[in-house]
Amino acid sequence: MSKTLFAGARIWDASGAAPFEGDVLVEGQRIRAVSRARGQIAAAGCQVIDAQGLCLMPGMVEGHAHLSFEAVTATEDLIAPPPEEHTLLTARVAKVLLDHGFTSAWGASEAKLRLGVAVRNEVDAGRLPGPRIRAGSLEITVTGGMGDESKLHNPRKGPSIIVDGPEEMRKAVRLCCREGCDNIKLDVSGDPFYPNTPAHSTPMSFEEIRMAVDTAHSYGRKVNAHTRSIAGTQACLRAGVDVLYHCEYSDEATLDLFEEARDRVFVAPTVSLFHTIANNEAAGNGLSAEIGGYMGIGALLEASAKTHTELRKRGIRHVIGGDYGFAWSPNGTNARDLGFFVQYYGYTPAEALGCATRNGGDLMTQVSGDKLGEIREGYLADLLLVDGDPLANFSHLLDPARLVVIMKDGQMYKNQSGAVQRRAAA
């Protein structure tokens, strides 16, 4: 069994404890020992990484991944690519995420049913580089809901499965399960990009959501929901949805429902998309802050800050990431969410990093049973060795050149530690 010893690192273990100097031994795919002092773990038979002056932390988890999104500016970019090209694109994005320190990706949804499945299988087999992937399904929506791109005069199909009624939902979810999807995605509420079903509307019914949850769970799969409206979020919580996305609007009753479901659900606010639009970062792609204002993006950002600050206080497990893959917010920049969590939701830097690691690890763990997301004995060895202090400056995590070592499942994906030492000596 291969053994790697990270010697003399500054260790941030994601347990909530302060960073400490010590050694970490990895054996096979797991963390075998963590020492709070240097030189206490025998180095015999180990590949030794001199980690002095570097920070060792768990790999990050993207909680709402769209692996099939690359430089998207409109839904047409999700519909137009042929499956062959789209599969290669998805494989490229998976590598980009791993290169940027994301050792796990929880698939939200993909633009075609089997894109996440095919790439997950290749990554699991060790034939393609990428994070540990839970494959997202196509979006499942209802007639006229978000993702229904057709019109009476134009049958153009959107990147979604359209169902009406619980029986059609059962069939759609079974189809996604049969084709290998791990996570089933429901478009429960409306969205500012769909004027006929705005964010506060709720086209999908409770009965449809409930059927999706029962069916997915009977296959051992999980359910993700796009929900911005109060009625949608309440229906998701009551129906047993596992992961809720966006959730901008809330009231006291909704917050109480969240609190009751605290040990069961995970929430990704996915604030990046609206933040970037409101800050004019999408202006070059025809989506200026002014246009965003007309779409009600500012109000949604305000509601997001209010709701998720409250959810933080109530101990709901937030995960970072989500809706990266647009032309102005590419996959690879997902760790920007760390700063947004501090800015909008009042997290400390260490707590935000905990959302990216410990909470994300808990999310991945609930299906695999193998614990990850912390530096702890017995946990899967997903590790980043960072040239810099991520707690002092998140930008260190956004710069792949500073990710000196990237280890996934105990396997060395990238090791530049020798180069760093040479640089230090020069």
Range in contact with Zn ion (rule: CB under 5 A) among 233-241, 252-260, 323-331, 382-390: 323-331
Mask: binding to Zn ion, 62-101, rule CB under 5 A, as x and -? Answer: ----------------------------------------
Q: Which residue has its beta carbon closest to Zn ion?
A: 323
Q: Which is nearer to Zn ion, 186 or 405 (CB)?
A: 186
Q: Which is nearer to Zn ion, 95 or 226 (CB)?
A: 226
Number of residues that bind Zn ion (CB under 5 A): 2
Q: Which is nearer to Zn ion, 323 or 387 (CB)?
A: 323
3-state secondary structure 348-380: CHHHHHHHHHHHHHHHHHHHHCCCCCCCCCCCE
Smallest distance, Å, CB 201 to Zn ion?
18
Q: Which is nearer to Zn ion, 78 or 173 (CB)?
A: 78
Smallest distance, Å, CB 163 to Zn ion?
19
Range in contact with Zn ion (rule: CB under 5 A) among 217-225, 317-325, 384-392, 415-423: 317-325
206-218 and 230-239 are packed helices; what angle lies between their axes, rounded to 10 degrees? 40
Contacts of 302 (CB under 8 A, 6+ apart): none
Q: Is 104 helix (H, G, I), strand (E, B) or coil?
A: strand
Structure tokens at 360: 């994300």
- Phi/psi of residue 264, nearest 5 degrees: -115, -40
Q: Which is nearer to Zn ion, 108 or 383 (CB)?
A: 108
- Is beta strand 3-11 parallel, antiparallel or unpaired with respect to 55-58? parallel
Segments in 179-296 forming alpha helices (H): 206-218, 230-239, 252-260, 272-278, 289-295
Smallest distance, Å, CB 224 to Zn ion?
9
In one-letter notation, the amino acid at residue 165 is G
Q: Which is nearer to Zn ion, 4 or 197 (CB)?
A: 197
Smallest distance, Å, CB 322 to Zn ion?
6
Using CB under 5 A, which of 323, 351, 374, 409 touches Zn ion?
A: 323
Q: Is 303 helix (H, G, I), strand (E, B) or coil?
A: helix
Q: How far is CA 187 from the centre of its chain?
A: 17
Using CB under 5 A, which of 67, 108, 181, 204 touches Zn ion?
A: 108
Place of tokens 């980690």: 51
- Answer for the pair 402, 387: CB distance below 8 angstroms, yes or no: yes
Structure tokens at 15: 């347990």
Smallest distance, Å, CB 138 to Zn ion?
12
Q: Which of residues 394-423 bind Zn ion (CB under 5 A)?
A: none
Binding site for Zn ion (CB under 5 A): 108, 323
